[in-house]
Chain A
Amino acid sequence: MAIKQQKFDPIEDATFQVANKNRGWSQKAREGALKRLSTMGMPSRRDEYWKYTNPTELLTEKLSVSPVVGLEDANIFSELDALKIVFCDGVFNPDLSDDLAAENIIISRLEENGDLHWAKNYYGLLEEKAQRPVSRSLAALNTAIASDGALIHVKGKVEKPIQILGIRNNTAEAILHHVIKVEKDCSITLLESGPFAKRLNSVMEVFLDEGASLEHIRAQGRDHDRLAVTHVFADIKENAKFKSFTLSANGMLTRNECVLTLSGDECAAHVAGASVGDGKSFHHDDTVFITHDAVACESRQVFKKVLRNGATGVFQGKILVKEGAQKTDGYQISQSLLLDEDSQFLAKPELEIYADDVACSHGSTSGAIDEEALFYLCSRGISKNDAADMLTLAFLAEAVEEIENDKIADIIVEKISAWLSRRRN
C-alpha cells in the first residue's frame, strides 16, 4: 500500500516539538511564539515583505547532511583574543568553548533546564513586538523551537570581545536564539562567525539599558551552500549605542533582518553591511526596520553590495519616525556595484514619517565600476585587476568604516581582498 506523501509543514513540526519537550523557563515563551506562528502562517513569495526573496528554500523539509566545516575555517577572528562560545551542529560545545566564567559578565546557554533564569522575561520579547506591522514568521518559529543559544548578561566593563562561533559536523540545520542584556553604562563587543549549519535560523535579541553600548561584528563566509535567515532585534534606551556590521560572502540564500527600536532619547543605532557575491546561486537580502520612538535619536544604515556572475542583491530598509520623535536624524544608503551584465540589485528604501522636525535622507544607487576612475588608475601604472580591486574596496569602505575597532576592520578588509583576488579575471 502506497503511503501518501505528506508535504512538510513547519508549523505542524514546531507544534509537535513544543508539545513533546518541556524547555523549563522558556517553555511559556515558546508556547506563545507557536500561537503567534499559527495565526501568522509561513511566508510565501506572494507576501510584499518577501517580494524579492523566495522563502521556499527556508521552509522545506529536512536537508541532507552537508560537508564538515571545521573550527579553523569558521573562525576568521582567530588572531583576536576573544572569549569563545562554540556551537557545534546547533548545540553548545563546552570542550571547544573557553571557560565562560569572566568578570562582569554572566554567560549561560539557552538549553539549560530549571525554572528560573534572568532571561525568562526577555526571551522572545522583542521578537513578539516585531511582529507588527509585518509578520516575521521565521523569527517566531525560532523562538518556538530554538535548540540552543547564548544568554549574555553584561554587568560591567568586559575586557575581551565575546565571540559566538558556529561549526558544523553532521547536521544540516541549526536554530539558535541568543539574548543579550547590557546593563546601564556597560559595554560589550560581540563577534559572530562560522557556518553553524547548512541551514541556519538565528535570532539575537539585544537589550541596551541607558548609556549601554554594543558593537556587533558578524562574518558570514566560506560556506557556499549556506541558507540562512537571521534576525537581530534590539531595544535601545536613552543615550545607548547600538552598532552592527555584517560581512557576507558566498552562500546561496542569506536573509539578514535587523529590527531596531530607538526607545530612549538621544540614543544611536548604526547598522552596516558589506556583501560580496559571485554566481547565479548567490542571493543576499538585507532587510532593516528602524523605529524612532524617542526624541533626538540618530540612526544610520549603510549597505553595500558587490555582485558578479549573475548574483542577486536585495535591500529593503525602512525608517519609521513615530509621532513625537522630533529631532530625529535618520540616514540610509544602499548601493550596489554590478561587476557584469547579469547581476541584479533590487531595493526598496522606505521612509515613513509622522514628525515634522526631522532630517531623514535615503539614497540608493546602482551601477558598474566607473570606467574613468579605472582608466585614471591604469594610467598611473596600476594593473587593471589591482585597479578594479582598489575601486571595489573603496566602494565597500563606507560600510567597513562603521566598525570602530581598527583591528577588526583590518581583518574584514583582508577577507574582502582575498575574496576579490581569488576571482581575478
Chain B
Amino acid sequence: MASFESIEVKDGVDQETVDAVREVGGAYKYGWETDIEMEYAPKGLNTDIVKLISDKNEEPEWMTEWRLKAFNRWEKIKEPKWSMVQYPEIDFQDQYYYARPKSMAEKPKSLDEVDPKLLATYDKLGIPLKEQMLLAGVETADNGEQGERKVAVDAVFDSVSVGTTFQKELKSAGVIFCSISEAIKEHPELVKKYLGSVVPVTDNYYATLNSAVFSDGSFVYVPPGVRCPMELSTYFRINAENTGQFERTLIIADKGSYVSYLEGCTAPKRDTAQLHAAVVEIVVEEDAEVKYSTVQNWFPGDEDGNGGIYNFVTKRADCRGDRSKVMWTQVETGSAVTWKYPSCILRGDDSQGEFYSIAITNNHQQADTGTKMVHLGKNTKSRIVSKGISAGFAQNTYRGLVSMHPKAKDSRNYTQCDSLLIGDKCGAHTVPYIEVKNNSSRVEHEATTSKVDDDQLFYCRQRGMDEEEAVALVVNGFCKDVLQALPMEFAMEAQQLVAISLEGSVG
C-alpha cells in the first residue's frame, strides 16, 4: 500500500488508527476464486431472463407476474444520480443475471450432498457449513449448555443458496429459516403477505431491478413469543465473473419474538466492476425485536480503483407493532462504490430504531451511506451513531434523514456523525436531512465531541482526566459496546476497528 506509506498523517491522529485502517483496507484476504463449473443464463436483461430466473427457481405464477411487473417498471425509470459517488455508466445488458454451480442444478437434499468444492469455499472463508464441524470448532465438545453460541448459516453462492444449516433444530423452535426460493414454494402465504410490503417494487431504481431479477436470498419467520435459539446468518459470496448478485432477504419477527441476524459478504478480485443490488425487508410486529448486523467486505477494487463491487442496497425495517425494536449495525469496509441506507419506519407507538455504522473507505473507494429514521408513532425513539473514515483518494458521505411526523408526539432522536480524514486527497461529507413536524419531539443532530453526556464527562474529569481523554474514553467505550454487540463470528474482524480514535475528527 504505497499510497498509504507516503502520506503524511497530521497531528492528533494516532498511529494505531492509521495502522488499523491500513489493516482493514489493506490486502484483500478474500480475493481468490473457486474453480467450479458454472451454469449461466444468457447475458443481458429482458422479460425472457426474468421468466428464466423465475423458472429456474420453480416459482408459482404469481411470483413470475410480480417480477415481470417490476421489470416493466424498471424499464421506464432512470438511474438515480443524486448520491455523491461517481462511476462509469453501468451497462445493464453486458452482464449475467443468473449463475449457479452446475452441481446445484438439482438441489441437494442435505448438506452432505453439496459439492465438496463449495463446502471448501465456505470453509476457506471461515464459514464452516457442516454442523458437526461447527459444533467441534466453535464449541467445547461437552458443553451443551452453550447452545446459544450456535449460528445457523444460509450460504448463498452467486445466484443460489447452497444450503442452510441447523434447519431441524430451528424448526423445532418454530422458526423458519431457509432460502427465499424455498420459502416461495413452501410458505407462499407468508411470502405473499410480506414480500414488497416494506420495500415496495416501486421504491427505487435498484430495488425495482432487484424485484425483477432477485435469484435467491434468505427468509426468516420467527413465530409469536419465540426467542430464536441461535444467531441466524447469511453469507453471500460472488464468484462468477461479469455477474450481478441480486439477493432478497425477508425477515418477519412476529409478536413478542426476538432474532439476531448477521450478514457477511465477499467476492474475488477482478479488474472489472460487478454489480450487487440487494433488498432486505424486515417486519417487526408488536413487542418484537430484530438485530441486524452486517460486515460488508466485498472486493473494494485495487489500489488504482480498478474493479470492485458496486454495492447498491436497499434495507428497511418496518416497526409495525407497538414497542417493537430494530437495531442495524454495520461495518462497511469493502465495495468500490457503496450506496446504502438501512432505514427504520417507526410506525408502532413506543417503537425504537437504532443505527450504528462504521464506514471505512480507502484508495479509490466511495461510500454514500447512512440511515433514515421515520417517526410515525407516538413516543418513538431513534439513535444514530455513524463514524466515517476516509483515506487515500476515497470519498465517504453520511446521508441521513430524521423525520418526525405530526402524530409522532413525544418522540426523540439523537444523531451523531463523525468523520475522520487520513491524508489530504480524500473527502468526508455529511448530508443530514432533519424534518420536525411537531413540537413535543426532540431532535438533536450533533457532530461535536463536546456534546457527549455531561454527567459521564464530569465523572471522568473528577477523576483527574483532561477533557479530551474523558471524551475519548466515553466515546470509545460506547463504540466498543457497539462492536462487542456484534456476534462473535464478526467480532474478530470488527475488533480491529476499535483502535480507531476520534481524535482529529471532523463533524
Contact = CB atoms under 8 A, between A and B. Distances in A.
B77 to A, nearest CB: 15
Contacts of A73: none
Contact of A341 (B421, B435, B439, B506): B439
A398 B435 CA distance: 22
Interface stretch (B94-102, B257-265, B445-453): B445-453
Interface string A348-372: 1111111111111111111110000
B441 interface: yes
A361 B443 CA distance: 17
A363 B447 contact: yes
B422 interface: yes
Given A339-B439, A341-B440, A353-B419, A366 B448 contact: no
22 contacts: A338-B436, A341-B440, A342-B406, A342-B438, A344-B437, A349-B432, A350-B430, A350-B431, A351-B429, A351-B447, A353-B428, A356-B423, A358-B506, A359-B506, A360-B507, A362-B430, A363-B451, A364-B444, A364-B445, A365-B445, A367-B442, A368-B440
B506 A351 contact: yes
Interface size class for chain A?
35 or more
Interface size class for chain B?
35 or more
Given A363-B448, A364-B443, A365-B443, A338 B438 contact: yes
B225 to A, nearest CB: 37
B424, B432, B439 — which one has the most chain A CB atoms within 10 A of its CB?
A: B439
Contacts of B425: 323
B435 A351 contact: no
Interface string B403-422: 00010010000000001011
Nearest to A359: B506
Contacts of B419: 353
Nearest to A333: B448
| A interface SS class | strand
Interface in B174-207: none
Interface string B476-507: 00000000000000000000000000000011
Interface of A: 48, 323-324, 326, 336, 338-368
B439 A356 contact: no
B431 A348 contact: yes
Given A323-B425, A354-B427, A356-B422, A362 B447 contact: yes
A344 B435 contact: yes
Given A352-B429, A364-B445, A341 B438 contact: yes
Contacts of B434: 345-349, 364, 366
B436 A344 contact: yes
A348 B507 contact: no
Given A361-B448, A366-B442, A356 B435 contact: no
A332 to B, nearest CB: 8
A336 B436 contact: yes
A356 B424 contact: yes
A344 B440 CA distance: 11
B431 A362 contact: no
B439 A368 contact: yes
B445 A362 contact: yes
B260 to A, nearest CB: 33
Given A357-B10, A358-B506, A348 B445 contact: no
A353 B421 contact: yes
Contacts of A364: 432, 434, 443-445
Interface string B440-480: 11111111100100000000000000000000000000000
B424 A323 contact: yes
Given A324-B424, A366-B442, A367-B442, A361 B436 contact: no
Contacts of A354: 426-427
B82 interface: yes
B370 to A, nearest CB: 12
A340, A348, A356 — which one has the most chain B CB atoms within 10 A of its CB?
A: A356
Contacts of A349: 430, 432, 434, 445
A307 B496 CA distance: 47
Contacts of A342: 406, 438
B438 to A, nearest CB: 5
B442 A365 contact: yes
B445 A341 contact: no
Given A346-B433, A354-B426, 5 more contacts: A341-B409, A351-B506, A358-B506, A363-B446, A368-B439
Contact of A365 (B421, B435, B440, B444): B444
A352 B397 CA distance: 8
A366 B10 contact: no
A342 B422 CA distance: 44
Contacts of A355: 421, 424
Contact of A350 (B429, B436, B437): B429
Contacts of B447: 351, 360-363
B428 A346 contact: no
B445 A363 contact: yes
Contact of A366 (B82, B428, B431, B436): B436
A343 B442 CA distance: 13
A326 B435 CA distance: 32
A341 B406 contact: yes
B28 to A, nearest CB: 25
A143 to B, nearest CB: 28
Contacts of B443: 364-367
Given A351-B506, A361-B448, A361-B506, A367 B441 contact: yes
A362 B507 contact: yes
Contacts of B439: 338-341, 343, 367-368
The 3 closest A-B pairs by CB, nearest first: A338-B439, A356-B421, A361-B507
A364 B422 CA distance: 26
A355 B446 CA distance: 21
A129 to B, nearest CB: 21
A321 to B, nearest CB: 9
A48, A341, A361 — which one has the most chain B CB atoms within 10 A of its CB?
A: A361
A114 B29 CA distance: 73
Nearest to A365: B444
A356 B393 CA distance: 12
A356 B424 CA distance: 5
Nearest to B439: A338
Nearest to A345: B436
